[in-house]
Amino acid sequence: MTLDCDSPKEACGIFGVYGVENVAPIIYRGLFSLQHRGQEGAGIVVSDGSEISSVKGQGLVNDVFSRQPIDKLVGNLGIGHVRYSTTGSTRIQNVQPLVAECVDGLWVVAHNGNLVNAAPIRKMYQEAGAIFQTSTDSEVLVHLLADPMYRSRPRRVARALAELEGAFAFLLMTKNCVMAARDKQGFRPLSIGKLGDGYVFASETCALAQTGAEYLRDVCPGELVVADQAGLHSSTFVDEDESRLARCIFEMVYFARPDSQVFGENVHSVRLKYGEQLAVEHPVDADIVISIPDSGNSASLGFSRASGIPLDFGFIRNHYIGRTFIMPEADARSSGVDMKLSVLAEVVNGKRVVVVDDSIVRGTTIRRRVTSLREAGAKEVHVRVSCPPVRNPCFYGVDFPTRDELIAGHEDVETIREFIGADSLGYLSLEGLFLSFEGRHCFCDACFSGEYPTEIACKDGKQALESMSNELNLDI
Ligand code: SF4
């Protein structure tokens, strides 16, 4: 994928620690490792057992915590969040973790994913007089937790979580404990690690490694894990049922870092196999294989190994420009596109080039890359994509454009090839996508297949709850 306006965006990253002295710097490091999952905002909330303190802001982790240093965050438990908005606009109120004061204490919430039934739950509470502070789907959990229906009964958190449909990895915190929960279908990853005498929770294992934590296991789908004075204990809020698992295959294709273990597999190794399989499914006579860095790197290596065509560096990435793809507004994205990758003409000039990308969304960016390769003297340009055509939007926390904006949503492969100006175009098959796994049954692949694993209560996209917030009755 071309890391810009032609790309999907991730929902968020979450990181939490319980039972370690001075957790704020550890959470900061964890969030920094998860920066690729969201760049719009970041926040850390910690507790020393009696006081809760927080720092939140818009922008990159480094920027947020240099503007507002974390020295004042004192505590031995805390959670953090990096945000890309998949519901709600880019504004400070939507930056997480959310902190809410309920009648029986403070709740802190950090969420990765998208709740497909947030709109009706929100409407129900708003009609009953509740006031929402944000336009995010995540806030409905706070209202469920505060609702006397749940508050006054046993297994309050589990019962509230059981009301939610769609994709979620949640970290929750009170003054004295950290909780981690994953939806019953297991859409988003969430791992548990051990750090000294304490515990760490992270969206991806790369963040465990980079904070010195030892990986223990993943939070299971439908499981609520609590870290408190008594240690680590677990319960389920929905009975385990393998047949309903719907892990997001796009984590493997693009989102997760190659050095993470996701759904039990190393991401780099899976992408290598995607590249190898792509070479088998779409062979081509060429002189060199190049990748669209960084997310096409592993698959291009796999393609090179399987095809015997040497791998080279055809694009050089400017690491000092932000990952513009993750900026939410079209103008902000397009302004950085041309600055990011430059062609190494010495490598591609006069060559038949295979360029490996991880996905094509709108088609506009790969088209620009193909043009720049030709302008640099490439004799032929063959595009290979390490996933099937993206034909459908995602309702589970990945901000794809609408079906109309997805080029494969309305065009066939030959028309896309013509549009991007390539000599040939080959996508990995749906079967090839699952070769590393035991078939499709434990995964969601709806953006490719159109087979959504849940009912979708609201298909209005990320601004759906925003518009609900704006429907004010001004008849006063
Ligand atoms: S629709 Fe695609 S991106 Fe969304 S959860 Fe399913 S596989 Fe992942």
Residue of the CA atom closest to atom 6 of ligand 1? 444
Any domain includes 205: yes
Residue 476 pLDDT grade (very low, low, confident, very high; cuts 50, 70, 90): very low
Q: Give pLDDT tens digits for 18-68.
A: 999 999 999 999 999 999 999 899 999 999 999 999 999 999 999 999 998
Q: Please tell me whether residues 272 and 356 are part of one structural domain.
A: yes
The best mutation among 387, 434, 447, 448 to test binding of ligand 1, ranked by most ligand atoms within 8 Å of the C-beta, falls on 447
Angle CA(120)–CA(106)–CA(225) in degrees, nearest 5?
Answer: 75
Residue of the CA atom closest to atom 4 of ligand 1? 394
Any domain includes 260: no
Q: Separation of 172 CA from ligand 1 center, angstroms?
A: 24
- Mention every residue, 6+ apart, whose C-beta is less than 8 A from residue 328: 9, 40, 84, 85, 90, 399
Point out the residues that are catalytic. 12
Q: Give pLDDT tens digits for 74-117.
A: 999 999 999 986 656 667 888 999 999 988 889 999 999 999 99
The more confident residue out of 326 and 368 is 368
For residue 301, the domain's CATH number is 3.40.50.2020
Q: Give pLDDT tens digits for 446-460.
A: 999 999 998 876 666
For residue 163, the domain's CATH number is 3.60.20.10
Tell me how far apart the alpha carbons of residues 278 and 355 are, in angstroms, rounded to a whole number.
12
Q: Please tell me whether residues 233 and 327 are part of one structural domain.
A: no
- The percent of residues above 90 in pLDDT, for the chain, comes to 75
Q: What is the pLDDT of residue 329?
A: 53
Q: Is 375 helix (H, G, I), strand (E, B) or coil?
A: helix
Q: Separation of 355 CA from ligand 1 center, angstroms?
A: 24
- The answer, yes or no, to whether residue 1 has pLDDT greater than 60, is no
- Closest approach atom of ligand 1 to CA 443: 7
Closest C-alpha among 285, 348, 288, 287 to residue 315: 348
| Residue at which a domain ends, from 223, 255, 287 | 255
Q: Please tell me whether residues 176 and 58 are part of one structural domain.
A: yes
Q: What is the pLDDT of residue 400?
A: 83
| Residue at which a domain ends, from 255, 290, 323 | 255
Structural domain including 126 reads 12-255
Q: Please tell me whether residues 271 and 247 are part of one structural domain.
A: no
Closest C-alpha among 281, 213, 272, 222 to residue 246: 222
Q: Please tell me whether residues 66 and 149 are part of one structural domain.
A: yes
Q: Separation of 25 CA from ligand 1 center, angstroms?
A: 32
- The percent of residues above 70 in pLDDT, for the chain, comes to 88
Pocket of ligand 1 (CB under 6 A): 187, 248-250, 394, 396, 398, 444-447
Tell me how far apart the alpha carbons of residues 264 and 259 are, in angstroms, rounded to a whole number.
12
Residue 132 pLDDT grade (very low, low, confident, very high; cuts 50, 70, 90): very high
- Closest approach atom of ligand 1 to CA 400: 3
Q: What is the pLDDT of residue 153?
A: 80
CA 426 to chain centre: 26
Number of domains in the chain: 2
pTM for this predicted structure: 0.90
Residue of the CA atom closest to atom 8 of ligand 1? 248
Torsion angle of C-alpha atoms 109, 114, 119, 120, degrees rounded to 10: -90
Q: Separation of 330 CA from ligand 1 center, angstroms?
A: 22
- Mention every residue, 6+ apart, whose C-beta is less than 8 A from residue 186: 220, 221, 245, 246, 247, 263, 442
Q: What's phi and psi for 191, nearest 5 deg?
A: -115, 155
User: What do you get for the CA distance between the two ends of the chain, in Å?
Assistant: 51
Q: Please tell me whether residues 104 and 249 are part of one structural domain.
A: yes
Any domain includes 44: yes
Residue 154 pLDDT grade (very low, low, confident, very high; cuts 50, 70, 90): confident
Q: Separation of 437 CA from ligand 1 center, angstroms?
A: 16
User: Where does 94-229 have alpha helices with state H?
Assistant: 118-127, 139-146, 148-151, 156-162, 205-209
Mean pLDDT score, 211-238: 96
- Closest approach atom of ligand 1 to CA 251: 8
The best mutation among 250, 400, 402 to test binding of ligand 1, ranked by most ligand atoms within 8 Å of the C-beta, falls on 250
Residue of the CA atom closest to atom 2 of ligand 1? 447
